[in-house]
Amino acid sequence: MLYGYRRRLRPPLLYPAAPSMAAIGADGVPAIGRLRSHPHSRKGVFVMSEPILRVDNLAKSYGIHEIFSNVSFLLKIGEKAALVGPNGVGKSTLLKILAGEETADSGTIAWLREPLLCQYVPQMPKFGQSTPWSILSHEAQRLGVLAKGTPAEAISRFGFTEDEAHLPADQLSGGQKTRLALAKAWLCRPDLLLLDEPTNHLDIDALRRLEEFILTYNGSMLIVSHDRAFLDNVVSRVLELGPRGITEYQGNYTAYREAKEKRFQSEMAGYEAEQKRIRKLEAAIEQQMRQFHRSHRIAGQHDFYRSKAKKLAKSAKAKMRRLEKMKKTSIPKPRAEPHISFQGFESKESGRRLILAENLGKAYNKILFQNGNFAILRGDKVGLIGPNGAGKTTLLRMFLGEEEPTQGYLWVSPSAFIGYLDQEMEELNSSNTVLDEVRSCLSDQTRDEITRVRTFLAQMLFRQEELEKPVSVLSVGEKKRVAMAKLLLSSYNLLLLDEPTDHLDLQSRERLEEALSDYDGTLVLISHDRYLLRKVCNKVLALADGRLVSYPGGFAEYEEKVIKGKSTTGKTAGGGLSPEERLVLETKLAQLSADLASTSKDDPGYEELEKSFLELARKLR
């Protein structure tokens, strides 16, 4: 079913859920049939939400390649659930099957409410030449009295300016097209909304608007997303899709990760206990066989020892049969998730101060930002955030020396050895294999270092057979992991990363997050991934409304002051200098002091230098 198309179906008879469907609560305990307290029920009264959709034993293949099988789950009225899993497991395919755009090879889909309106928002919505205003007006006209709002309300709610509302849709950005598809869905408020990567290309402000839309939406939603903070804020259940079906977890994304870790620990404890029993049985067999051989040697014609040897042999054989049966039915060893290690790879040393800016600004036809005061020190991990088009990539290019400031002062330390990840990843050699491309960053091609590279690539989720794949055939997400591996294993001491988590699935994002946290150099990264910003960054530079503001307390300080509306200045209490501004001024003062010392008082420029020195000294008092 194309998004925007709706079907009205008769509800079939209810029948029990497929026994293959597993459900895990936040405590790691199976949760099938568990009664949950409804948020609007009276205290002590438990109700079971009415289901709107039942899926049983769905399977899908393309030719001989099986995408998934045995997929079963329920979706309840008003429920917001996440569908997660690695790239290529079939999440988008499953949504398309539910929407009617593709068909399953086997299994059933039962819609349990009549009439039922279902709408699908794909990753890349297409609208042709029409403008957002005309698209929404046409939708409202088509819906008639069923429309739940006006085009003007939809335009405003989803953050379109007057100019954007009248742009041809094919000129809109990816994020604007997603917002337009959501605005169209908002007009009709379907009973079930299927969202495929709705957070792609959205800045932090647009993400907050999307979260507000979802949280106030009365219908059911099934959401595919790689934005972990977004999933934490909007979903109450996680469906993990794998090749052999779905495992359910109650709670949001963080609860899902915690439950999954508890489940792993429980499975590992069971595995280790069984292995201990196997080892104990093997030791008992070995001991009995030694006793058998000793009794057999000394038995001769002695009936007692001959009888003892037979009993030992019989007991050992029984234990062997028991051991063989245990090994056949033994629990396979649970696979731990890989962890990143930088052992043997270190960045170059640098000075303490890598980048300093005073009243920094940039303008083209209009002002992008101005009055930026900040310092980036050795070991800092700085998040660069702001709306799309605010100048974030331009600022990185200024750090690289590819753009000049139009206002203020910018200093980049000569000791800064800079590596840059752009969104297009143009530095990759498409004719190289994955291994050869990452090896190319090594100064010494020794066997030990190549082994370390192979290990690191495995930790970045590349399988052994994928190391010989040409870069040219990799997906965008795989290329991003190759580019990041090269940068992290190089000797750069300052990395500039433009949207490093774009096109990465959840598992890849977590591995990259771990790598960036463990990296011993300095980072400046552009990202809308709030989970990443909270965990990795100790400072934030925020661009908005033509201003560049530093938040030395990181994303937590930014959220406290800006998102919660407490402050937008980035200054210390009492209006004094922030630590960042003071550091910039102290550095400039030291530079002016050196210039004064090397300049004769008769020099025409001496008076101006002295004036600047005294002015800065007064500011620092």
| Domain identity same for 216 and 361 | no
| Domain identity same for 552 and 590 | no
- Residue by residue, DSSP assigns 71-134 as EEEEEETT-EEEEE--TTSSHHHHHHHHHTSS--SEEEEEE-SSS--EEEE-SS---TT--HHH
- Which of 222, 251, 280 is the last residue before a domain boundary? 251
CB-CB neighbours of 104 under 10 Å:
21
Residues 6+ apart with CB under 8 A from 15: none
Name the domain count of the chain.
Answer: 4
pLDDT of residue 71: 95
Q: What is the mean pLDDT of residues 582-603?
A: 68
How is the beta sheet containing 220-224 ordered, strand by strand? Answer: 22-24, 245-250, 237-242, 80-84, 220-224, 192-196, 118-121
- Which of 206, 229, 251 is the last residue before a domain boundary? 251
Domain that residue 620 falls in: 571-621
Per-residue CA distances from 108 to 14, 71, 120, 431, 530 (Å): 13, 10, 19, 45, 38
- Contact 165/490 with Cβ under 8 angstroms? no
| Domain identity same for 172 and 38 | yes
Q: What percent of the chain has pLDDT over 70?
A: 82
- Say yes or no to pLDDT of 396 above 90: yes
Q: What is the dihedral of CA 559, 563, 567, 573, to 10 degrees?
A: -20
CB-CB neighbours of 539 under 10 Å:
23
**Residue 400 domain-assigned (yes or no):** yes
pLDDT of residue 475: 77
**Residue 621 domain-assigned (yes or no):** yes
| Domain identity same for 304 and 360 | no
**Residue 603 domain-assigned (yes or no):** yes
pLDDT of residue 123: 84
**Residue 334 domain-assigned (yes or no):** no
Question: Which structure tokens are listed for 289?
Answer: 């066989």
Question: Which structure tokens are listed for 144?
Answer: 């008639």
**Residue 202 domain-assigned (yes or no):** yes
| Domain identity same for 246 and 136 | yes
CATH assignment of the domain containing 37 = 3.40.50.300
Residue type, 399: F
With the C-alpha atoms ordered 548, 551, 554, 556, is the resulting torsion angle positive or negative? negative
Torsion angles phi and psi, residue 41, rounded to 5: -85, 160
- Say yes or no to pLDDT of 455 above 80: yes
DSSP 8-state secondary structure symbol assigned to residue 561? I
Give the separation between CA 477 and CA 502, rounded to whole angstroms. Answer: 7
**Residue 345 domain-assigned (yes or no):** no
pLDDT single digits (tens) 299-336 = 666 667 677 777 877 888 888 888 888 888 887 888 77
- Ramachandran quadrant class, 137 (left: phi over 0; alpha: psi -120 to 50; beta: rest): alpha
The maximal CA–CA distance of the chain, rounded, in angstroms, is 122
Question: What is the CB-side half-sphere exposure of residue 379 using CA atoms within 13 A?
Answer: 1
Q: What is the mean pLDDT of residues 29-46?
A: 35
- Which of 228, 251, 274 is the last residue before a domain boundary? 251
Give the separation between CA 351 and CA 103, rounded to whole angstroms. Answer: 60
Residue holding tokens 């042709």? 128
| Domain identity same for 219 and 123 | yes
Average pLDDT value over all residues in the chain: 81
Torsion angles phi and psi, residue 573, rounded to 5: -60, 140
- Say yes or no to pLDDT of 45 above 60: no
- Contact 477/504 with Cβ under 8 angstroms? yes
**Residue 338 domain-assigned (yes or no):** no
- Say yes or no to pLDDT of 27 above 70: no
| Domain identity same for 381 and 444 | yes
pLDDT single digits (tens) 53-81 = 999 999 999 888 888 999 999 999 999 99
Q: What is the mean pLDDT of residues 505-511?
A: 84
